[in-house]
Amino acid sequence: MRFAILLAALPACAMAQDFNYGGRNTDFEPAFPEQFRAPITPSGVELDLEVIASDLVHPWGIATLPDADGWLVTERPGRLRHVLPDGSVSEPIGGVPEVHAVDQGGLLDVALGPDFETDRMVYLTYSKPMGDGLSATAAARGTLSDDLSALEGVEDIFVQDPPDDTAKHYGSRIVFPGDGTAFVTTGEHSSMETRVYAQDLDKTYGKVIRIDLDGATPEDNPYVGQDDATDTIWSYGHRNIQGAALDADGTLWTIEHGPKGGDELNRPAAGLNYGWPVISYGKQYSGQPIGSGDAVQEGMEQPVYFWDPVIAPGGMTFHSGDTFAEWNGDALIGSLYPGGVVRLALNDEGHVVEEERLLRDQGRIRDVEIQDDGSFLVITDFESGSLIHVRPSPES
């Protein structure tokens, strides 16, 4: 029997109109006008929310199965579930790697491989236990059995180095640009000792990683053949990238947590340095400055957009489809604090020109997944989290 609750239509326009950004943590001027506080622009769409499944334990990632066969959803304690369209939730899928389910660690992202319909390959990111309380961000892949009960032949294709005993800032998302490679995002484990590793090219902390689908290194990566650099690194100087997506042109975008202020939307390019922890538009939670105390420094890239105060970003995606067609090309970003979904409209130059806050009463939204028709799913990150389908209200 289907478990679903149809919620009252929520007026997106009203929720946006009464929103204001609030006070700042720092007083840094943006580097260019479109970098900060785009106009809050209501889309005038009313939303219907249908809870497809609930009682999911800290769900983290969603992958849509083909042929209307439902979704794969990760639970951070280390379980992968199959959620059917009727709301049924499977027993845990077998074969999932053991995870370091401590603090922010656990089973993180899930994605279908680019050739899933022929090879049934599923990719996961997770915090890998490394012994003696140490852990590292890892990515693995395995073949999903025909009955969806198990992953078979599971193997790691990336393991962050070195492992660390701080169970924070793992990232991590995995996306496929369509050229036989995968981007994997990582964090820098948060501690004062390890955050500086985001600047070190011999460590995979605070990086965008680019690997072949089997974990090999693409020959055109920027640091291939360079002494004292890890050849799987694509970009560096990141803090904690928990959102990554490709736009309609196949360009990679990422979104990362700042400290107190300074969440960033970036468009990572090969071999470039995005500044953490030398520069930031935020400050330490203690109130002390970050790194150099500056937000701009020569040789370090600027974010496309930043938030202060933060949105605490989760997963992100770019909208496409007939439903909510006026949003096509816009970024939809899960927010953990203050919660909801952040919609960003971008112009042809890739600048943010408007922002909207949606679903603010739903709390911590960890991931957003567009469906073929343009409707979308969100998951709420709670001890009893939900998978929710979002459509326009029939009256809108």
Q: Is the pLDDT of residue 380 over 70?
A: yes
The domain 5-390 belongs to what CATH superfamily?
Answer: TolB, C-terminal domain (2.120.10.30)
Asked whether residue 217 carries a pLDDT value surpassing 60, the answer given is yes
Has residue 111 got a pLDDT over 60? yes
pLDDT digits (tens, 9 = 90+) for 349-373: 999 999 999 999 999 999 999 999 9
The reported pLDDT for the residue numbered 12 is 39
Whether the per-residue pLDDT at 297 is higher than 60: the answer is yes
Mean pLDDT computed over 125-141: 98
What pLDDT does 18 receive?
A: 59
Indicate if the pLDDT at residue 181 is higher than 90: yes
Using only C-alpha atoms, the chain has a radius of gyration, in whole angstroms, of 20
Taking CA atoms, 267 is separated from 181, 214, 250, 258, 343, in Å, by: 17, 25, 11, 16, 17
The predicted pLDDT at position 396 comes to 60
The pLDDT of residue 7 is above 60: no
pLDDT of the residue at 395: 75
| Helices and strands per DSSP (H, E), number in the chain | 3, 25
DSSP 66: S
Residue 20: per-residue pLDDT: 80
* pTM for this entry: 0.95
Residue 375 scores a pLDDT above 50: yes
The pLDDT assigned to 48 comes to: 97
One DSSP character per residue, 284-312 reads -TTSPPPTTSBS--TTSPPPSEEESS---
pLDDT tens string 314-343: 999 999 999 999 999 999 999 999 999 999
CB 107 within 8 A of CB 174: no
Cis omega (within 30 of 0) on the bond before 162? yes
Q: What is the pLDDT of residue 4?
A: 36
**Catalytic residue ranges:** 169
Q: Tell me: the pLDDT tens digits for 21-65?
A: 889 999 999 999 999 999 999 999 999 999 999 999 999 999 999
Looking at every residue in the chain, the average pLDDT score rounds to 94
